[in-house]
């Protein structure tokens, strides 16, 4: 689904025919992966057999995100938009408050991008953002501006969803929540020397207990870059753009090991960063897609005329 998003964004920006070919391939896979009830598979074998039986909330949300972007983008070809519409409308029936927190956040991204095309988008945005706001109000404290008692994976998708919900419906409490939680996350990942250290998957960050330094994943950095660029676009605050640039530099070596994660020779991205093992040499699809989404987000963003010093973090 995220590969579909990369192909759609690249074609939308550059009108490259190879991107259109990939767009059709990834759209065909997404259509094939959807069950009759609107849920979606995530894992397929080389023999084209699906390996999972139950659709995860994240998968449903990412399907809505990718197809919502295609469906809601009038500059994309009509044929792929129509397929995206069919998939989106089937999946949208399952986007309720019963989803996991990240499933709700990914779904909000989808409804945001489809809001000019899908008739129930605004209602879904209001309902799902209210659910996320409830999570936030129940968990927050002066020293913990977050949605739950743990910070785990793809953390930035949560404040990003709130900021986009605000942009869609204009409710000030959503903006406040989005900015407060994004600031809290940023303060956790930027070191005193200006390097980036996202929450590691070796135990995550449990409130008042433990904060993992490693292993760091590209998807967490990529999500934060995109969230910061959306924050800049929505608020006009230039430091968000500068912070996105600082965050993106993790890929080129601004990390705890001063090691590049992006591989210039292949155009791929290594799978992670461990203080004990160093850079994971596997060039994984998920990590490369995270990098490409960052690059495309910068292409989509309007670069600010003014600049701020690199020390002016949010």
Query: Taking the model in full, what pTM does it have?
Result: 0.94
Give the span between the Cα atoms of 14 and 7, in whole angstroms: 10
296 and 214 fall within a common domain: yes
Summarised one tens digit per residue, pLDDT across range 254-265 is 999 999 999 999
Structural contact between residues 92 and 124, judged by C-beta atoms closer than 8 angstroms: yes
Give the span between the Cα atoms of 184 and 140, in whole angstroms: 11
Structural contact between residues 150 and 208, judged by C-beta atoms closer than 8 angstroms: no
55 and 194 fall within a common domain: no
Structural contact between residues 221 and 287, judged by C-beta atoms closer than 8 angstroms: no
Summarised one tens digit per residue, pLDDT across range 27-57 is 999 999 999 999 888 777 887 787 876 668 9
142 and 283 fall within a common domain: yes
Q: What is the pLDDT of residue 55?
A: 67
Structural contact between residues 65 and 45, judged by C-beta atoms closer than 8 angstroms: no
95 and 51 fall within a common domain: yes
End-of-domain residue from the set 87, 119, 151: 119
90 and 232 fall within a common domain: no
User: What is each CA distance from 46 to 49, 50, 75, 96, 253, in whole angstroms?
Assistant: 7, 9, 34, 33, 35
End-of-domain residue from the set 74, 99, 119: 119
37 and 139 fall within a common domain: no
61 and 135 fall within a common domain: no
84 and 158 fall within a common domain: no
- Whole domain around residue 280: which residue ranges? 128-314
CATH number of the structural domain spanning residue 278: 1.50.10.20
Give the span between the Cα atoms of 32 and 71, in whole angstroms: 17
181 and 239 fall within a common domain: yes
| Burial state string for 94-113 with b = 16 or more CB within 10 A and e = fewer than 16 | bbeeebebbbbbbbbbbbbb
The domain tally of the chain equals: 2
Give the span between the Cα atoms of 167 and 299, in whole angstroms: 20
Q: What is the pLDDT of residue 313?
A: 41
Residues in the chain: 314
End-of-domain residue from the set 97, 119, 141: 119
- Secondary structure (DSSP) of 56-111: -HHHHHHHHHHHHHHHT-TTS-HHHHHHHHHHHHHHHTT-STTS-HHHHHHHHHHH
162 and 78 fall within a common domain: no
The span from the first CA to the last CA of the chain, in angstroms, equals 31
265 and 146 fall within a common domain: yes
Give the span between the Cα atoms of 111 and 122, in whole angstroms: 8
Q: What is the pLDDT of residue 306?
A: 66
Q: What is the pLDDT of residue 50?
A: 79
216 and 300 fall within a common domain: yes
Averaged pLDDT, groups of 10, the chain, 314 residues long: 95 94 95 91 80 81 97 96 97 93 97 96 98 98 97 98 98 98 98 97 96 95 98 97 98 97 95 92 94 96 70 42
């Amino acid at each position: 689904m995220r590969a579909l998003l990369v192909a759609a964004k690249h074609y939308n920006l550059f009108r490259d025919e190879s991107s259109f070919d990939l767009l059709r391939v990834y759209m065909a896979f997404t259509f094939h992966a959807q069950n009759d009830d609107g849920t979606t598979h995530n894992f397929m074998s080389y023999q084209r057999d699906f390996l999972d039986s139950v659709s995860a909330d994240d998968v449903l949300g990412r399907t809505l995100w990718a197809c919502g972007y295609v469906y809601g983008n009038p500059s994309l070809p009509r044929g792929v938009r129509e397929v995206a519409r069919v998939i989106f409308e089937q999946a949208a029936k399952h986007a309720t408050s019963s989803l996991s927190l990240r499933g709700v956040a990914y779904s909000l991204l989808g409804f945001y991008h489809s809001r000019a095309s899908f008739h129930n988008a605004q209602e879904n945005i209001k309902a799902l953002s209210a659910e996320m706001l409830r999570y936030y109000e129940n968990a927050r404290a002066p020293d913990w501006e977050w949605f739950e008692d743990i910070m785990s994976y793809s953390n930035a998708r949560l404040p990003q969803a709130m900021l986009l919900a605000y942009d869609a419906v204009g409710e000030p409490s959503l903006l406040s929540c989005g900015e407060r939680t994004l600031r809290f996350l940023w303060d956790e990942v930027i070191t005193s020397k200006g390097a980036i250290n996202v929450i590691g998957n070796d135990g995550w960050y449990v409130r008042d207990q433990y904060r993992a330094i490693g292993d760091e994943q590209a998807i967490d950095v990529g999500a934060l870059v995109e969230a910061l660029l959306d924050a800049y676009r929505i608020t006009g605050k230039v430091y968000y753009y500068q912070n996105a640039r600082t965050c993106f530099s993790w890929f080129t070596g601004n990390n705890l090991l001063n090691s590049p994660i992006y591989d210039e020779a292949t155009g791929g991205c290594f799978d992670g960063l461990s203080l004990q093992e160093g850079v994971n040499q596997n060039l994984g699809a998920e990590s490369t897609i995270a990098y490409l989404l960052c690059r495309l987000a910068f292409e989509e963003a309007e670069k600010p005329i003014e600049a701020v010093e690199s020390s002016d973090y949010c």
